[in-house]
A and B are shown apart, each in its own frame.
Chain A
Amino acid sequence: MNEHIGTAGGPGMDEAAGLDDGTPMRAADAAVIMQDAGQKARQQLQVSHRVTFTVWGLALLLGYGAMWLGVRGQHPFHGPDPAAFATVTLLAVAAAIATVAGNRADSGVGGLSAARRRIHFVAVLAGLAAMFALEGALARTGASRAVFGVFEASAPILVAGLFYLTTSAVWLDWPLSGLGIWLLAVAAVGGFAGPAGVWAVDALAAGLAYLLMAAIEPWVRRL
């Protein structure tokens, strides 16, 4: 494996040596360089979702869990108090910041991937804006607090599910499509637990799904 290829004796490598620094390169050295450079590039350029999944999983468990603790046993149901809402908002902001920080891995990468990221970011913002607009429409039609309770818990999960599903379609990322479908199912079914129970169902079903994704991500990426 220490053979010289294209060394100073080879016509091609005379030229190559002149183009580089004059140092002949052996085949084995070239193979090592290819492996090292490829591995380093993949590590530094490909986004790992592990941190993002962990943060969102914990945010859902803690945030939605806190909401559930605040609304369980309410008769009649009057919804979460402002402090619980503030907690969930803070957790969501912290999770969003962690997501952006996690995506720093591909900073420096431009072209199609950057364009896709921008479109996805706009899609999430549009989805959340539509969600709040719909909530306004529900309020205008005189929907009960119970309806709001189900909507406020399920709608963000629905938006997140659609986001992951569309992202997986772009990148052909099957684990992500699994998460997207699961979140859509959680959003659709969780509401049947009622305006208080939906927070607990979503906290566990969605939060644990995120944590599971975080746990299996390194293994899945190796496949």
Chain B
Amino acid sequence: MSQDGLDPVIHAPARLRIVVTLAALHEGDDLSFTKLQELIGLTPGNLITHLRKLEDAGYVNTEKNGSGATARTSVALTHDGRAALDRYTAALRQLLDSVGQQ
């Protein structure tokens, strides 16, 4: 955790987009890798790199189903990821409020 209380794993443009996008899903839902890539606008390689960092932190879960042409990789936000985003949002709001008061 940074001194500002902002989670460094989330506090990066691409990963913030990924986490916020996945948080828009209903609990228990997941998003295909292709659709996530379309929404975020990253190359597959970059997206994989960021997803791996989020997965290492336990914030997202990726799962590959099927094989060959029917293979589908799905990505979902974990409970920890949702909680981390809530904490991040609260810390960010607090930070913006404190700056606004100065």
Residues in chain A within 8 A of chain B (CB atoms)? 1, 3, 5-6, 10-13, 15-17, 19-21, 23, 25, 27-31, 33-34, 37-38, 40-42, 44-46, 107-114
The answer to whether A11 and B2 touch (CB under 8 A), given A1-B99, A108-B32, is yes
Beta-carbon contact of B20 and A45 below 8 Å: no
Contact status B1-A1, CB under 8 Å = no
In contact, B31 and A109 (Cβ under 8 angstroms): yes
- Those of B9-30 within 8 Å (CB) of chain A: 9, 11-17, 20-21, 23-30
Chain B residues near A (Cβ < 8 Å): 1-4, 6, 8-9, 11-17, 20-21, 23-32, 34-36, 38-40, 50, 53, 72, 74, 76, 89, 92, 95-96, 99-100
Cross-chain contact A10 with B4 (CB below 8 angstroms): yes
Taking a contact as CB atoms under 8 Å apart, the answer to whether A12 and B2 are in contact is yes
Please report the C-alpha to C-alpha distance between residue A15 and residue B57 in the assembled complex, in whole angstroms. Answer: 13
Q: Which residues of A contact B29 (CB under 8 A)?
A: 109-114
Q: Pick the contact of B3: A11, A108, A109 (CB < 8 A).
A: A11
B57 to chain A, nearest CB (A): 10
Q: How far is the CB of B50 from chain A (nearest CB, A)?
A: 8
A5 touches which of B20, B53, B89, B95 (Cβ 8 Å): B95
